[in-house]
Amino acid sequence: MSDAAPSAVTEPSKESPATLPAVPAYTDGSARYINRELSWLEFNQRVLDEAWEASNPLLERLKFLCIVSSNLDEFFEVRVAGLKQQHETSSSKPGPDGMNAAEQLDAVAVRVRKMVDDQYRCWREQLAPGMAAEGIRFLKFHELDEASLAHFERYFEEEVYPILTPLAIDPSHPFPTILNKSLNVAVEFANKDLQAQYALVQVPRILPRVLRVPDRGSSYDFVFIGDLIKHHAAKIVSGVEIAGAHLFRVTRNSNLYYDEEETNNLLSAIEEELRRRNRGKAVRLELHDDCPTHIQEVLLRTFELEPQDLYAIHGPINFRRLMPLLGEIDRPDLKDEPFTPAPVLPPEADLFANIRKGDILVHHPYDSFRPVVDFIERAAADPNVLAIKQTLYRTSGDSPFVKAMIRAAREGKQVAAVVELKARFDEEANIRWARMLEEAGVTVVYGLLGYKTHCKAALVVRREEGAIRRYVHLGTGNYHPSTAKLYTDLGLFTCDEKIGEDVTELFNALTGLAQLQSSHKMLFSPFNFHSRMLEMVRRETANAKAGKKGAIYAKMNSLLEPQLIDALYEASQAGVEVRLLVRGICALRANVPGLSENIQVRSLVGRFLEHSRIYYFENGGNPDVFIASADWMQRNCFHRYETCTPIGDPALREKVAGILEDGWKDNVKSTQLQASGTYTRVRDGKEPFDAQEHFLRLAREAAGSW
């Protein structure tokens, strides 16, 4: 690996460079870049395809169906909400793909409608019948026997009815505020002479959404809470004849709006915005397809939505509510084979001593996450440790890292935590952690004005034989023990002196508002990560033009940054081999003659969520290999604090390159990006190779060797 020092770290850039070459189209007139939102929807389709995939265990297919709904919720709350705001304020201008907000909204509505239809067809034609055949049924009330009906009658009377609040809708009782993503029942009165024509029943979130039918032995029968309430609608609005009861759900804008430069207390400002999140502007209405047209029109008017914002569905509203059932249904034969990650070191091993012997690379979830937890827990208990510093972007509900830092602070160590309050949908949890840490004496910093702290870094300062040694962990994923079992990520333990100095400077910048002046080995956003990535792409281009081998292999979650995409196009035209594993959004068009014929892009969607970021540059036979917290997106390059770490040890460099190669070889779970922006399954005629199953097999073999 090249030992050339990165370029000097300078003042962070708050914006992506505005001047880009004119890029209207390639030869067939299509946009040079794929639209971000449509690319994301293609990713969600790949998740949905796994629900259709008959080779997956049945309950795992249900899991993928739930994930599709969860993903769509966030897509509407954030992306569609943002597009609507742009359109309504007339501030929309075409993006790099040439589409303005109105055009994107139209295209999104068409694509999502097709996806939702596909999702519910999967439920009706594949999953519900398949589960019924296995003794797992979701029943309507007319399908229940007398004993079950009597059970739910008692349940309604004792557990549900006392906490429901029907609200009549009339001129003196306007439509109440409907909380974001809450389940509601619109009850229509039959007597049109009444002043009120409707009543609204909001289903309290404290109630379970799916109820198990008792006394079914080894079978599993369920009913939905919404159906229970509809079944008893006449009792809820007693004394009034009802014409019908209809479930609906509204999704609202969940972006947080606050001016960091104008607020004196960021924590308080975010708390106030969180209270408003449930009442943001409506962006989507979901209801059953048997809901009468006049009810649909009333709801659309009430929420100030257009017909294209309405999704009439034939099946359960909100599949994500079925996710808890995956843990409740004891059918291991319908799930993935259980997996225990391989231990990295023996439990009694001295972690610090092993790091001193050489850098340690961990590949989660195949390698245990335990050493990462041990790194902080042992540092907290070690009398030779003087200081602990760590970033927390997302962590678990019962975080061992928070507990360890609290213990360390109480024992007199210098402890600093950089808690990112703006981690979307984790703001409340992070506020809670921040307060707990502060109360224990931990120095808590909420990040820097105008930036998110997205890097995953931990620094332990230890006194050894009269000298100070710095130990570092740098990762591609969050300090979150739960997601570490579900996401593929890489982490590096090192006591390399130069990397220790770089990470020290990073924390000083985060906590002291200082500017990073230079770095020895590491790259940082928003300072020199983008410029160095561009420089290395262009170096491969120059090498190819000089007749040398040029190769760029990378793995990331998303690829959007226009300058890097343009540099990859130039590299392709010079003959550089470009192979990209991009799980999610990809704005680059691959395999376009004259533009990107040497670029191939694949996406792997499988049992685990591919989350690691790896960058490999051939560099004339002396490869540069990095792991990073940053994708090639504008936000990661210019609006977030990120780390990018060189892999110096030759054996580890080879291991990381091997992870890239094995991911590329996958021809079971991988799809390949076409110039149109769609994806097709990789079917290369070779022996089937499932990369995740390959890594699981290696991990099981490693675990068996202990």
Encoding tokens for residue 112? 């999502």
Given a contact cutoff of 8 angstroms between Cβ atoms, the answer to whether 671 and 43 are in contact is: no
Query: Distance between CA atoms of 415 and 377, rounded to whole angstroms?
Result: 13
Cis previous bond, 94, omega within 30: no
Given a contact cutoff of 8 angstroms between Cβ atoms, the answer to whether 598 and 42 are in contact is: no
Phi/psi of residue 455, nearest 5 degrees: -70, 155
**Catalytic residue selected from 364, 454, 611, 639:** 454
**Bridge partners of 487?**
609
SS3 364: strand
Question: What is the DSSP secondary-structure string of 64-121?
Answer: HHHHHHHHHHHIIIIIIHHHHHHHHTT-----TTS--HHHHHHHHHHHHHHHHHHHHH
Cis previous bond, 371, omega within 30: no
**Half-sphere exposure of residue 178, counting CA atoms within 13 Å on the CB side?**
29
Pairing of strands 282-288, 456-464: unpaired
Query: Distance between CA atoms of 572 and 549, rounded to whole angstroms?
Result: 12
Encoding tokens for residue 603? 């996406």
Q: Provide the CA 395 distance to its chain's centre, in angstroms.
A: 13
Q: Provide the CA 45 distance to its chain's centre, in angstroms.
A: 15
Query: Distance between CA atoms of 445 and 652, rounded to whole angstroms?
Result: 33
Active site residue 454: yes
Encoding tokens for residue 75? 């897509």
Phi/psi of residue 563, nearest 5 degrees: -65, -40
Catalytic positions, written as ranges: 454
